[in-house]
Structure 1
Amino acid sequence: MNTTAADRRALAWLLLAALLVLGAGIGLRDPWPSDEPRFALVAKTMVESGDWLFPRRGSELYPDKPPMLMWLQAASYLIVREWRVAFLLPSLLAGLGTLVLVWDLARRLWSPRAGLLAAIGVLSALMFGFQFKRAQIDPLITFEITLACYALARHLLLGPAWRWYWAGCFVAGLGVITKGVGVIALLMLLPYVLARRAGWPGLARKQGDGWRWALGAPAFLGAIALWLVPMASVALTRGQPEYLDYMRNILFDQTARRYAGQVGGHYGKGWWYFGPVLLLHFFPLSLAYVAGVRDWAAGWRERDGRLAVLVGWCALVLLFFTLAAGKREVYVMPMLPMLAVALAPTLLRLEHAAWLHRTALALAVGFGAVLLGLSAWALSGRWARLQATMLERGLHADELRPIFIWVLVAGAAFLVAAAVFRARRGVPALLAGLGAFWVVWGVGVAPLANPSVTSAEVMQAADRIAGPDGEIVMVAWKEQNLLMAPRPMHDFGFRNEPAEQFERAVAWLREAPERRWIFARHVAVQACVDRDRVTLAGHANRWQWWMFQLDAVRPGCRLPLRRPAEAAADDEGD
């Protein structure tokens, strides 16, 4: 399908809006717990150590996730030389890439206007804005799964195009070494086979050549081998327990067992769990669900192979995560782009529907009123519970007030947009309000909240307390502590029990008690520390952080081992 100059201009405006919405605030905040500091720390360690094959978190290897995101963050730093930008850059680029893929696939399957509306539906979804403004693995894996599905659809629905098919299999393999679940892109083959056997139109013409289909397997496995072969070879060559344990953990505990619920099963929810997620987190795209189901039913009667493949894939992905013991809202985010493509004809049909514009306008006014009311209530000082929570987080009244002034601005933006666009253009009013909200969040709220959410100020205080000649060891620490430390820090592992870390740290103190300090989370060590000899480094993420030397340690005291429930509750402080 030919792309006109008007189509290209529409895409350019869409990407400009996406850059504003997703990019607002980049460079204005540090990584936020719980995952962002972990990945940024691993990437920073890669750059500093030169070892990109085996990620490290402090003194120990980090086996929880494959290193793809950390590689991209490290590479971004080598380009921009600023960690506040580099750690978010992969998510921003993944978001822009996802929108382009959605636009182009829906354009080819339906029409240029349908492609634009599908991409707008993805950009405006609450989950998309929230997640793609964060430095998590989920934005990257969503882009990779979308790219794999796009490539497969170019072959299955618009082909034959064997190079696109092989590329899709290869990208699915890259998704596997990003988060494991990249393989779900290949589920698109199942509804294609069923629709093909049923003789449905809308699919690529007869293709044959079984050996070409079979080449998808080496393309998929080859992408995985790019990381797996050198990693396993080096681990086996070194033969050290640390590297062998890393290989076992990342290949088994963090893939098959995690899906089965043996690891990460504490996320277990009922089979209905993703229903509200699809309604609320995919809003406002979810406004088109009812009309979309009617269109899909009509497409089923007309035996439309395009809808069979797209909707069938979305249903299989939903089933995949529903059957898993571990469930989190973000797991279904890779569905969003293909769901929007499947809804593209519906979005085109509803574009001028009066009921949709009236509903969108009412929602814009409602959101604006709620944000204005909440901010006014908070600024009046009557929201005591909120203030107590913020104080617990380290935010004081003089810091809290500017945050709610920005919230008030976001609420006003919704109302201004509603007044400008009015009922006949209620959808643009709602979209403008949502866009303004994310911009306000990025440039206003997040920078103000940054000191209380991160450990930057605490680590600077610890640095001052230790003095220029002091040495610091961390006990019961968080990744953000090491990431934001102004000086090199010692540690005795991250996964080790705080009791073991504390015991080894005390022995380390005895070697040079006059210049060595322990930096620790107070709840983990207070049973064996004299509070009167402690220097408070500060508060961050609901924790107090202590600095003390050997004279504060109670002789002969041993910390108790934590029970699993206590460990889980302890980690919720992030």
Structure 2
Amino acid sequence: MPDASLLRHRWRILLCAGIVLALLAGIGMRQPSPPDEPRFVLAARAMVDSGHWLLPHRGSELYAEKPPVFMWMQAASHTVFGGWNLAFLVPSLLAALLTLWLTWDLARRLWNRRVAGWAVLALFSCLQFGLMAKRAQIDMVLVGMTTLAMWGLMRHLLEAPNRRALWIAGAAAGLGTVTKGVGFLPLLVLLPWALWRWRMRGVDDGRRGRGPALWWLLPAFLLGTAVWLAPLGIALLLDPDPTLQAYARELLFKQTGTRYANAWHHVQPAWYYLQVMATLWLPGSLLLPALLPAWWRRLKRLDGRYWLLLGWAVLVLLFFSASPGKREVYIFPMLPLLCAAAAPLLPGLLRRTGPRWLLLAYVVVLAVAALVIGGQLLAGSAWAHAQLARREMPDSLLPLLGGWLLGFGVLLGGLALWLRQRRAGLLVVLTALLLWNLYGWGLMPALDAYSSASALMQRVGQRIGPDAELGLVAWREQNLLQADRKVAEFGFKRPWDQQWQDAGPWLAQAPARRWLLVLDEAVSPCVDRARTIAIGSSNRNRWVLVPGAAYRSDCQSHLPSDAADDGQD
């Protein structure tokens, strides 16, 4: 019989392997889906195709909403692995694995290996972590860089002065800043650290630490930002092109300061992030009522680990809550550090009946929901048909989706009956493992053709024939990405009327072989509606094919002013 320590070691290896496999599940089996994935892949593909990597493009226009660092990563991934279906997800996958390791190592250094294991399992079990790890958005990479910066700062501030860790922290914060503008947020940890040192004045029990040489942060931070700002600055000095100057102004000022202080979209109330934490941080958020008083007691004991971890999380929450523009991913960087702060308390909490019943209830609700929805899909109920019809998906998906959901629900229900509330911690970890395998192997590949718009663009290609020319008006990034041929487009952010000013003459030059794919609400009054073809819906938008012969070139009408959209999702 193997001893208990060997069994625990084997369990740890199995759980680690299960986590990695769950994050890998389905990679390469789907295409980029809105809202953000197609635009990043479109820019990365343009870099690979053109060989010009400094400035990202969305079609013919410069893409100035985000710096290009994440797109560089996707383009580099493509050069290594080939095939965009695999390459576009690799940066998020690697960032997720890095974040898990950093969370483990930080908790190990602050407490011990047992606590480190709890921290990793807590982070993996939270819904938002798995969801972002399996999406090709900047935020997972940003969280990896933020966690790396916090790892270096916490080592330097709490363990012992460590110049190497400080350099790593500063460079990671700088690189995070040019990946997504808020990458500097780890530096805010210096505020709770200074307050903690002030509260600890006169105490000499080894917890206060020495005053480290923090000035090394500045050159390290600047070095991290120079990865992109240096080549951009050189380009601005050497090239007086007003387009390049406008790109720099848009990105460095409007998309950073203005976007934060005077947001023009995603406007939400101040309490918005409370509902984000209550839902996307499940099942961990169920334990917050028990964690908060325990954390407060440790803060009153002046435990520096909690002062830095929790103080920084509160500052990040306040920072994003102060801005009128809010998205659920903005507070995601808090999650790994809060899991590290929760980890020492989890064994004690899970010995209590109340928290265990809450976690069991979470799993049971998830299992029942999967069973009910899967049963409805398999039975072909009116509700199931209506859901697919709303999204113009074929009924052939009913048994496929229903089978996956029903199987997930049965497995989850069986685990809940076997482990019950006495092993609720293990139950939620196994639930996360099953959930992300379901997501990766089952749901996303089944829905891929419709969520990625590839089914729509395939219909377009079949309808116009292989020899026709295609143009886009009021398009979305996935339309250009999934097109089966070279496409003429007339700007993405330009008002629709201005796009038609170029698209109309383009059609008139060869009306027999040229077609436009147009958002239904953006069809020009100069188009004979009777001759257009409704080609279907995708991502909640209806699309129309306009043959060249349907456009009246002698027409001078314009779209209503309230319909002159800029093409933004």
How far does the alpha carbon of each residue in 1:183-215 deviate from its partner, in whole angstroms, 9 at most, with x for none? Answer: 11101111111111222666462135xxx4222
Where 1:25 maps in the other structure, the secondary structure is coil
- Provide the aligned C-alpha RMSD in A: 2.3
Give 1:513 deviation, angstroms.
2.8
Aligned-partner residue type, residue 493 of structure 1: G
1:30–1:450 contact (8 Å) kept in structure 2: yes
Report the counterpart of residue 58 of structure 1 in structure 2: 59
Report the counterpart of residue 137 of structure 1 in structure 2: 138
Report the counterpart of residue 205 of structure 1 in structure 2: 209
1:188–1:309 contact (8 Å) kept in structure 2: yes
**Matches for 1:180-199 after TM superposition, within 5 Å:** 180-199=181-200
2:127–2:280 contact (8 Å) kept in structure 1: yes
Give 1:364 deviation, angstroms.
1.8
Where 2:493 maps in the other structure, the secondary structure is coil
Q: Does 1:90 align with 2:64?
A: no
Give 1:295 deviation, angstroms.
2.2
Equivalent-residue separation in structure 2 for 1:365 and 1:185 (angstroms):
37
Q: What's the TM-score, normalizing by structure 1?
A: 0.92
How far does the alpha carbon of each residue in 1:501-525 deviate from its partner, in whole angstroms, 9 at most, with x for none? Answer: 1220111122333332222222211
How far does the alpha carbon of each residue in 1:483-534 deviate from its partner, in whole angstroms, 9 at most, with x for none? Answer: 1112111111110112111220111122333332222222211633223322
**Matches for 1:257-406 after TM superposition, within 5 Å:** 257-261=258-262, 264-384=263-383, 387-406=385-404
Equivalent-residue separation in structure 2 for 1:298 and 1:289 (angstroms):
14
1:394–1:542 contact (8 Å) kept in structure 2: no
Q: 1:395 and 1:153, CA in 2 relative to 1: closer, same or farther beyond 3 A?
A: same
Equivalent-residue separation in structure 2 for 1:216 and 1:381 (angstroms):
60
Aligned-partner residue type, residue 562 of structure 2: R
Sequence identity, in percent? Answer: 39
1:509–1:516 contact (8 Å) kept in structure 2: yes
Aligned-partner residue type, residue 211 of structure 2: Q
How far does the alpha carbon of each residue in 1:269-316 deviate from its partner, in whole angstroms, 9 at most, with x for none? Answer: 222221122222111122332332222222123221111111111111
1:46–1:55 contact (8 Å) kept in structure 2: yes
2:313–2:337 contact (8 Å) kept in structure 1: yes
Report the counterpart of residue 422 of structure 1 in structure 2: 420
| More divergent stretch after superposition (457-466 vs 439-448) | 457-466
Aligned-partner residue type, residue 206 of structure 1: R
Where 1:559 maps in the other structure, the secondary structure is coil
Aligned-partner residue type, residue 194 of structure 1: L
Q: 1:319 and 1:351, CA in 2 relative to 1: closer, same or farther beyond 3 A?
A: same
Match of 2:439 among 429, 438, 441: 441
**Matches for 1:85-124 after TM superposition, within 5 Å:** 85-124=86-125
Give 1:126 deviation, angstroms.
1.0
Where 2:265 maps in the other structure, the secondary structure is helix
| More divergent stretch after superposition (397-406 vs 104-113) | 397-406
| More divergent stretch after superposition (105-114 vs 546-555) | 546-555
Q: 1:8 and 1:258, CA in 2 relative to 1: closer, same or farther beyond 3 A?
A: farther
2:124–2:429 contact (8 Å) kept in structure 1: no
Q: 1:202 and 1:73, CA in 2 relative to 1: closer, same or farther beyond 3 A?
A: farther
Report the counterpart of residue 531 of structure 1 in structure 2: 529
How far does the alpha carbon of each residue in 1:377-396 deviate from its partner, in whole angstroms, 9 at most, with x for none? Answer: 34444443x53342131212
Equivalent-residue separation in structure 1 for 2:9 and 2:313 (angstroms):
28
1:157–1:202 contact (8 Å) kept in structure 2: no
Where 1:375 maps in the other structure, the secondary structure is helix
How far does the alpha carbon of each residue in 1:9-33 deviate from its partner, in whole angstroms, 9 at most, with x for none? Answer: 6664443222222221111111111
| More divergent stretch after superposition (488-497 vs 519-528) | 519-528
2:519–2:541 contact (8 Å) kept in structure 1: yes
Give 1:141 deviation, angstroms.
0.6
Give 1:149 deviation, angstroms.
0.3
Equivalent-residue separation in structure 2 for 1:563 and 1:253 (angstroms):
24
Match of 2:476 among 463, 475, 478: 478
1:420–1:429 contact (8 Å) kept in structure 2: no
Equivalent-residue separation in structure 2 for 1:422 and 1:195 (angstroms):
42
Give 1:260 deviation, angstroms.
0.5
Q: 1:6 and 1:502, CA in 2 relative to 1: closer, same or farther beyond 3 A?
A: farther
Aligned-partner residue type, residue 61 of structure 1: L
Equivalent-residue separation in structure 1 for 2:495 and 2:6 (angstroms):
62
2:64–2:251 contact (8 Å) kept in structure 1: yes
Equivalent-residue separation in structure 1 for 2:11 and 2:337 (angstroms):
20
How far does the alpha carbon of each residue in 1:11-63 deviate from its partner, in whole angstroms, 9 at most, with x for none? Answer: 64443222222221111111111111011111111110111100001111100
Give 1:567 deviation, angstroms.
3.7
Equivalent-residue separation in structure 2 for 1:139 and 1:128 (angstroms):
8
Aligned length: 561
Aligned-partner residue type, residue 346 of structure 1: L
Q: 1:383 and 1:104, CA in 2 relative to 1: closer, same or farther beyond 3 A?
A: farther
**Matches for 1:450-465 after TM superposition, within 5 Å:** 450-465=448-463
Aligned-partner residue type, residue 472 of structure 1: L
Where 2:178 maps in the other structure, the secondary structure is helix
Where 1:254 maps in the other structure, the secondary structure is helix
Report the counterpart of residue 410 of structure 1 in structure 2: 408
How far does the alpha carbon of each residue in 1:85-131 deviate from its partner, in whole angstroms, 9 at most, with x for none? Answer: 11111111111110111111111111111111111111110111112
Q: 1:301 and 1:22, CA in 2 relative to 1: closer, same or farther beyond 3 A?
A: same
Equivalent-residue separation in structure 2 for 1:440 and 1:474 (angstroms):
35
**Matches for 1:208-227 after TM superposition, within 5 Å:** 212-227=213-228
Aligned-partner residue type, residue 170 of structure 1: A
Match of 2:543 among 537, 542, 545: 545
Q: 1:245 and 1:571, CA in 2 relative to 1: closer, same or farther beyond 3 A?
A: closer
Where 2:166 maps in the other structure, the secondary structure is helix
Give 1:445 deviation, angstroms.
1.2
Report the counterpart of residue 17 of structure 1 in structure 2: 18
Report the counterpart of residue 496 of structure 1 in structure 2: 494
2:260–2:325 contact (8 Å) kept in structure 1: yes
Aligned-partner residue type, residue 192 of structure 1: W
1:459–1:481 contact (8 Å) kept in structure 2: yes
1:66–1:179 contact (8 Å) kept in structure 2: yes
Give 1:64 deviation, angstroms.
0.4
In the alignment, structure 2 segments of 5+ residues that lack a partner are none
Aligned-partner residue type, residue 270 of structure 1: P
In the alignment, structure 1 segments of 5+ residues that lack a partner are none
Where 2:517 maps in the other structure, the secondary structure is strand
Give 1:137 deviation, angstroms.
0.8
Q: 1:390 and 1:235, CA in 2 relative to 1: closer, same or farther beyond 3 A?
A: farther
Q: 1:410 and 1:528, CA in 2 relative to 1: closer, same or farther beyond 3 A?
A: farther
Equivalent-residue separation in structure 2 for 1:5 and 1:259 (angstroms):
52
Equivalent-residue separation in structure 2 for 1:203 and 1:155 (angstroms):
13
1:57–1:494 contact (8 Å) kept in structure 2: yes
Report the counterpart of residue 156 of structure 1 in structure 2: 157
Equivalent-residue separation in structure 1 for 2:366 and 2:70 (angstroms):
34
1:61–1:246 contact (8 Å) kept in structure 2: yes
How far does the alpha carbon of each residue in 1:403-445 deviate from its partner, in whole angstroms, 9 at most, with x for none? Answer: 1222222211210111232332122223222321221121111
How far does the alpha carbon of each residue in 1:447-480 deviate from its partner, in whole angstroms, 9 at most, with x for none? Answer: 1111221221222333334434332221111111
Equivalent-residue separation in structure 2 for 1:235 and 1:487 (angstroms):
34
